[in-house]
Amino acid sequence: MLLCVAGLMSSCASAENANSSVVTLPPPRKDGGMPLMEALARRQSQRELASTPLPDATLSSLLWAATGVNRAESGKRTVPSARNWQGIDVYVARADGLHVYDPAEHRLVRVMEQDVREAAGKQPFVREAPVVLIYVADAARMPDASADAVAFYSATDTGFISQNVYLFCAAHGLATVVIGWLDKDELGRRMKLGDSRRVILTQVVGYPAGQAESAPVKQAVADTPAVAWRDGAYRGRARGYVDDIVVDVVVRNGRIENVTVVEHKESRPLSAFRDMPRRVVLAQGPDGVDAVTGATVTAGALLTAVRQALEKAKP
């Protein structure tokens, strides 16, 4: 299940029937942000990450910072590359599969459905991270280079990308650490990389543990238009699979700031309670929020409870 992307062609030699999908990313934010010197002062490795998914808006800007095109006329990137070979691809491993970043189109292309995070590092936190970036060098894009030169440029070019990711994370309150302790050949096998491609490093990215709720909420507040809810804390209730599900919705400055499940007796799947309150905040309401797979009744009740709470918040 591999898809051929212009410039990312060599993995296509082993392509199976195309069953890949393209994830369109929102435009990256290229303005504002933390001053560079402050981001440098905050740069650090952090290994305690929440499993909360990153919003697409954040992932979009992160990938652009990592290796996006910053000069459309030449197709050159936010990072230098030896002889402008642009020999490193950035893969995104998540629970929903393996994707490769296509800088020219600023999109993600899903190359396989399997979750390869467990092979992306020996430390247990790697497989729990919502996003694991995998830096893959393609020797076929470094023509005439000796094996030593390929190894050298693969390492240096990956280092630039990784440092951009570190700085982006420092500036956006995200946790990250670059990972060299892994079986690169095994990961390459799982990714079905062709002969010319090699994993160089991986890098986990997520919200710092303990800030899983506040950080996405801040992002949502920044990214969504104003909704005219009345400020306050509102409670809603709806019958779930086993018993009532009770939620509290907090509205501040006219926006949904937080959704908390305060009571439930559901036994599974708890992912509904982990993911859906955050999605409601990101969407600024229950409309358009998809139910967690396999949890239609529980998720539906949760959304109904949110709707009931928001009835009281109407102006």
Ligand X SMILES: Cc1cc2nc3c(=O)[nH]c(=O)nc-3n(C[C@H](O)[C@H](O)[C@H](O)COP(=O)(O)O)c2cc1C
Per-residue CA distances from 109 to 1, 20, 277, 287 (Å): 11, 7, 28, 27
Handedness of CA 257, 259, 262, 268 (dihedral sign): negative
How far apart (Å, rounded) are the C-alpha atoms in residues 258 and 210? 15
Q: Is the Cβ–Cβ distance between 236 and 309 less than 8 Å?
A: yes
Q: Specify the residue, 44 or 293, whose C-beta has the smaller distance to ligand X.
A: 44
How far apart (Å, rounded) are the C-alpha atoms in residues 206 and 212? 9
Q: Does 44 bind ligand X (CB under 6 A)?
A: yes
Total binding residues toward ligand X, as defined by CB under 6 A: 10
**Token couple for 45:** 């490795």
According to CB under 6 A, which one of 79, 100, 170, 177 is a site residue for ligand X?
177
Which of the ranges 104-112, 171-179, 276-284, 294-302 carries the binding residues for ligand X, by CB under 6 A? Answer: 171-179
| Residue type present at position 31 | D
Residues 6+ apart with CB under 8 A from 152: none
Taking CB under 6 A as the rule, which mask of x and - marks residues 114-153 in contact with ligand X? ---------x------------------------------
According to CB under 6 A, which one of 40, 181, 290, 294 is a site residue for ligand X?
181
Q: Does 179 bind ligand X (CB under 6 A)?
A: yes
**Token couple for 231:** 């400020």
According to CB under 6 A, which one of 178, 259, 292, 303 is a site residue for ligand X?
178
Q: Specify the residue, 36 or 226, whose C-beta has the smaller distance to ligand X.
A: 36
Least spacing, CB of residue 184 vs ligand X, in Å: 11
Residues that bind ligand X (CB under 6 A): 44-45, 47, 123, 177-181, 201
